[in-house]
Each structure stands twice: as structure tokens, then as C-alpha cells.
Structure 1
């Protein structure tokens, strides 16, 4: 006969074993108790092509521009309703908004061009030839220029948006990904294939230096803190690297997920958001210019790798499709690396 003490000890062991099994089976990311309150607040089903890339938010006019391969979907930032569409795109990649002239500049990766649209009507009003496979793009109000990274020709096209013409093409010595500007004549862009970033002087339209990023493989996403002059760079080696771009010094390295492709810095509240294709947004708090704390990993959906930020409300937007399999982090082949049968295209709102 088993004694009462033996039964109690057995019960304790069973409970302990169960706890261990739960811990082992728990997800490595996104398992923390919510610390910021961020979570997926809405999922807007759009449908259509299973291709997506960069997202830009216009906080004043309450619009969200979501590139969607053959179009750019334009959503109401408050309701998620599709209020318009930039149609007849061919490999839509990124959008730069030049509000001062009421025009947007959308990269068309398949036609090697930038489509100019009227922001009120969303109708095409022009097309500017870039180089091979234009991808990420930004508008820098400080210099009044639109900068376009060309992924297959390893260079950057510089556009005067008021004149509607190219004013320069800058060889950058590697495959560019995302970019940032300080508004004072300097632009930085990641070199995906080099694990580095380049510094560009806008006045001379030349690269002034190339800076390797230790521990960074496949540098992809980028954001900039203008007050403290810090670059935040997301790498496919699953790290977020904080860099002083002037000295090239690495300030901090933090862990993030698989397939980094979106980075946002909220200057008002000082969080950094890094979205990754494995279905998470990592939130890091900037304690000071040189001190950073990993706060939490917010679960989104697989494939939701890019990120737009609404500075008015603090909400984030991402995009993906339903039914992304566990071994994929992006759109299905041939646009991505993994073949699968996608579900409907969706836009995610991530807020509190």
C-alpha cells in the first residue's frame, strides 16, 4: 500500500513536471504579460493580390497608404475603410508623400519607374524613370528631395518633386534596403548584402563613407532619432542595432524576430517598434540616447513584416495574408521565397 506521504510527494512531482512541460512548450516570443497595452486591435480584410511591402501613414489627412503589388490601397486611418486606390501599379513597393505640392511618389518595381499621383484624386499625373527595381523611398522636407533606392542596380535615384525630374543617381556599392534622412543634407541607407550602411551627402550627391555593422547580417529596416542622432537598424540576423551614424559606434544590440523589415521610432514617447515576418512587433524603450530596454514582443500575424506609424494616435499598421505557413515570413513565391496558397490580404491595426 502506498502511504499518504508518498502520494503527496507523487502529486508534487506531477505538478512540477506539468509546469516544466508547459514552460518547454510555451512560445519563445510574445509570451510576456502585456507591458505597453499594444495588441492587434483590428484586422481589415482587403482581398486581392498576395503581394505587399511598405506602409506610410498621413496623420493629418488620416490616410494609410499600403502598397499592394498592382495597387496602393488607401485606408481611412480611423475606420480602416478603403477610401481609394492608386490603380494600375506594377510591383508597388513604397510611397513618399510630398504634402506641400499635393503629390505622392510611388515606386513601381517592375517598370523601373516612379509613379506621380495627385493625393486628392489618387490619379496618376506623371511617371519618372528610375533605375532597376525601385524599392524603398522617402521624402526629406529639409532638402526638398525624394530619395529612391534601386534594389537591382545598387544605386539611389534623387528626384526634385516640384520639377518632377531626376536630379542625380548615386552609386552606393551594394543592394540598398530602407533609408533615413536628417533634414540637414545627410541621408543614410542600409546595404542589405553588405551588413553595412552608407552615408550620403545630398549636396554633392556622393557617398562619403560606408560603415560595417558588427553582428548584422542582411541590414534591412531603418529609423532615425534626430534629437539624439541615433540610427535604429533591423537585421536578418535577428538583431536591432542602435548606431551613432556620425562615429559609426554601435551603442546597443537587442534581439528581435525573424525577417526584420519594418522599423519605427516614436520621438514623442521614445519607443522603438521593430516588425518581423515571424509575426511579432518588438517594442524597445529608449531610456536615454545610449540606454535601451527590451519591453515586450507583441504578437501580430506571420508575414506582417513592414510597419507604418500614425504619430497622431500612436497606432501602427502592418499587412499580410491569411494562412501564411509556419516556415514562411513573407508573401508566397515567386514574390517571396516559399510557395504556399495564401488566404485573403489583410491590413492590421496595432494599438492600445
Structure 2
């Protein structure tokens, strides 16, 4: 990032470098084994049963984080990326290879419907305000808005680039990271209209996105920074340094802490003291590859998935090969 942006970052950081504050003893509490092989992307906590739903190649693993027991597997999926739940206790799984969303009954895990969306559906959220399921279509540069009442796509919103994660202000607006343009799209959901594109600076490649709806601050997880943006005017508040390879960020409204998970094997985290005042906390050591993240807001526990890695024969490989039978989820808490 350019010098100007780094200067902005330093203004917003109360303490950095050798003056890192303790993170109240956040650490990996346990490792939960998950069956099956293959890659992974997002995971999420069901708000009703509090089970973890973990994307895992051609399936979704359901895990009870309290007992570490498997509660089932939703199989025969085609390139799982994200999972979300509506207020009728139905689940939605994005299948990137079939350009569809698989809808299932949470009580039985049985299929309810299969909804065609855009190309390579990736992230998915349920917006409580509009009561809509929102799907980010990575290849077709669009959002599919699904109405849970009839399980149909009611509108498609075109974007200028590849959408990554989505956040809602719970008042009718949603925000979407545009990975290849280093921007955040501000969208009026009722109108299906893009209002603005907020710049994140050059070459930031934003992925994960979270929001504090009290301070109106967006937290955009980028390659080496957690860029904090004022959701009301699009201005950059801070560019907070984080470890490399971030693919997810969550905000805990109770503790006012922001957690950014990284491939590097640490969670970078900050305390939001006020809307423009952030304190860097000690990195939380996890494991290599634990780049996506979810939070259970009830327990304030954080979860990151990863696996053991082998050695690559390709010296130019971006990532190491995954060892079969080693996939697991790490639970991080006090």
C-alpha cells in the first residue's frame, strides 16, 4: 500500500509493534477432527442448534463444537464454498461448480430445492433486515438475491468485478468486497442498485468483510492490511497491518474485537476502543492454512479450519499439498 495509506493507518492505531497488548489469553483450546478429504472454504455456526457447518470439497460436515462429535454430512455437493441459514431454519449451500444453491432442511439435512444462480457462487449470507439470501457470484461478477418465501432468485445485481464477502448494515444496505478492483460496493438492496464503490487503495485484494453497526465501521480483510472504512461516506479510517494470506474477518460486538484469520498460521486481532481508535493485540497462533473464520456470537468462540500439509515438488506452488485424513477445525477462545 502507498505511503499515504500507511500514514492513515498509523493515526488509527494506539499501540503497535513492541507495545502490543495482551489479547486476554485467546488461544487454541482444542482441535476438532473432521472426516473426509479435499479442500475447504467457509464455515459458519447455525444460530439455532449452534453446530458448525464446514465446507469441505463435495460435502458439508456438521460438527457439534462442544462435544467434537459429527452430527452428519451433507454429501453430493459440487464445489462447496459457503453456507447460510434463514429464519425458517433452512440451510443454503453455494456450489461453485454447478452454479447453484442447495437448500436443505436443518432438522433432517434433506434437500428442499436447488436454485440456479450466477457463475461460481461463493460467499452467501442471510440478511435479517430484508429477509433475503444474498449470493456472491465470483465468475459472473454479480449478486443473486434469493427470496426464501418462494426459493427463487428475485433479482440479479451486476458488479464491476469479482465479489467476495458480504456485510449488512441491517437497515437496507449491504456492502460487498470487490476483490479484483480493490473496492467495496455499497448497495441499496430494496432497489437492487449499487450506490457507490469505496476505494481500498491499490492492490489490496479484499476478501473477508465484517461490520460494526454501532460505529458504522467496515473491516475489509486484505492481503497485508485490515482496512477500516467509514460505511457512511466510504472514507478509509485506518489500514491496520495483519499477517499475510488473510481470507476472513469477524467482529465480536460484545468484546469489540476484530479477528483476521490468515494462511500464515496466526489470527491478527485488534480492539476497537472507539470508531477511529484501534489497539493492536498479540497475534493468536493457529496453524498454517487456517485462513477462513467464523464466530459464535453467543459464546464468543472463534473457529478456523485447516489440515496438515505435505511437501510440494513444485517450488513455485502457491500452497502446499494437503495430507489426506488430517482436516480439522481449531476452536479459539479465552
Do the structures match in fold with TM over 0.5?
yes
Q: Is the 8 A contact 1:95 1:106 kept in 2?
A: yes
Classify 1:327/1:39 alpha carbon distance in 2 versus 1 (closer, same or farther; 3 Å): farther
Measured against aligned partners, the alpha-carbon deviations of 1:150-202 in whole angstroms (never above 9, x if no partner) come to: 01111110000121000011111101110101121111100100111111111
Partner of 2:207: 220
Partner of 1:54: 42
Q: Aligned equivalents of 2:90 and 2:47: distance in 1?
A: 16
Question: Secondary structure at the residue paired with 1:220?
Answer: coil
Partner of 2:13: none
User: Which structure 2 segments of 5+ residues have no match?
Assistant: 1-16
Give yes or no for the alignment of 1:140 onto 2:122.
no
Q: Is the 8 A contact 2:228 2:238 kept in 1?
A: yes
Classify 1:185/1:117 alpha carbon distance in 2 versus 1 (closer, same or farther; 3 Å): same
**What aligned pairs does 1:39-50 form with structure 2 within 5 A after superposition?**
39-50=27-38
Q: Is the 8 A contact 1:114 1:128 kept in 2?
A: yes
Partner of 1:338: 319
**What aligned pairs does 1:165-244 form with structure 2 within 5 A after superposition?**
165-214=152-201, 217-236=204-223, 238-244=224-230
Per-residue deviation at 1:50? Answer: 2.4
Measured against aligned partners, the alpha-carbon deviations of 1:51-78 in whole angstroms (never above 9, x if no partner) come to: 1111111244121111111111111131
Q: Is the 8 A contact 1:283 1:295 kept in 2?
A: yes
TM-score by length of 2: 0.90
**What aligned pairs does 1:54-93 form with structure 2 within 5 A after superposition?**
54-93=42-81
Paired positions, count: 316
Partner of 1:306: 292
Q: Aligned equivalents of 1:255 and 1:208: distance in 2?
A: 29
TM-score by length of 1: 0.85
Q: Aligned equivalents of 1:157 and 1:226: distance in 2?
A: 24
**What aligned pairs does 1:107-122 form with structure 2 within 5 A after superposition?**
107-122=94-109
Q: Is the 8 A contact 1:62 1:78 kept in 2?
A: no
Q: Is the 8 A contact 1:302 1:324 kept in 2?
A: no
Per-residue deviation at 1:342? Answer: 2.3
In the TM superposition, structure 1's runs of 4+ consecutive aligned residues that sit over 4 Å from their partners are 324-328
Q: Aligned equivalents of 2:227 and 2:173: distance in 1?
A: 20
Q: Aligned equivalents of 2:320 and 2:216: distance in 1?
A: 41
Q: Which of the pair has the greater relative contact order for Cα pairs under 8 Å at 6+ separation?
A: 2
Partner of 1:125: 112
Per-residue deviation at 1:257? Answer: 1.0
Question: Secondary structure at the residue paired with 1:219?
Answer: coil
Q: Aligned equivalents of 2:263 and 2:94: distance in 1?
A: 22
Larger radius of gyration between Structure 1 and Structure 2: 1
